[in-house]
Structures are given as C-alpha cells and as structure tokens.
Amino acid sequence: MWDEVSNLEDPLNPAFVDQFVCSFPEALPDEFLDLLVSESLKVPASDRKETLRGLTAADSSVIMNRITAPTLLISADEDAFVSEDQEIIRRAVPDARLQIYKGAGHAVHLARPDRIVDDVVDFVAKTVTTTGS
C-alpha cells in the first residue's frame, strides 16, 4: 500500500479513490458511492501520505496489553488493507474478540450495517451482563 500511496500526487486520480472507497463487493447506491469518492478526493495526497506514514511508524504493540476493556474488533475476509492487523490486535489485547464478516471488504460497516449494529449491540449487552456495568 505504501508504494501506491507514496506516489500519489494532486490532483488525485479518481480511479485510485474509487478503488479504495469501493473495496467491498456489495452494491451500494451509485449516488452514495459518488458522494464517498467526491468527498475522498478532497483529501490532499500529502495528508494521505502522512497519515499512512504515521500509522505504519506507530508501535502500538507496547500498549495493547494494557487495554482492559472488552474489545470488539470488526473485519472482513476480503479486506485487503487491515485483515492481518486485526488478528495481531486480537492476540495482543487481553479481552478482545474478532468478528470477521464473510464476503465483505474494507468498508464492512457500509456493506453490512444491520449485522454490524446487531453484533455491536449484542457485544455491549453481553459485556454489561458479564461485568455488571
């Protein structure tokens, strides 16, 4: 991903943004996808480079085991961007659960909003029941 992002220049190529935004197989209304792409095109190449540089340079592993809250990680089996990272986080955070959605990509929250909501509500309800909070 760094090879692709490090070569970005303004104005951004709409095809790059379209590929990133539409990185999931489910069909969304064209108007919504167009809005996502047009809003994403407003982010300058330099911001994208610095964001990715910061994400890749950060060593969050030193604090992962200090997270004490029950944690729900959400990922998808066709996510080309962060799927491996989620498993690393799941192993590092003491009380983490990883929910992987089949047939979805990076924007799983857009592809499966009803399932996401149901799973988050279920996770919170079980957490409250278990911890009494």
β-sheet bridge partners, residue 101: 76
Mean pLDDT of 15-19: 80
* pLDDT tens readout for residues 77-131: 888 778 788 988 999 999 999 999 998 888 888 888 899 999 999 999 999 887 6
Q: Which of 3, 16, 10, 13 is nearest to 45 (CA)?
A: 10
When comparing pLDDT for 108 and 23, which is higher? 108
Helix axes 30-40, 14-21, angle to 10 degrees: 120
Mean pLDDT of 7-18: 88
How far apart CA 23 and CA 29 sit, in angstroms, is 14
Q: Cα angle vertex 12, ends 57, 3, to 5°? A: 40
Question: Does position 65 have pLDDT exceeding 60, yes or no?
Answer: yes
How far apart CA 133 and CA 13 sit, in angstroms, is 48
When comparing pLDDT for 49 and 26, which is higher? 49
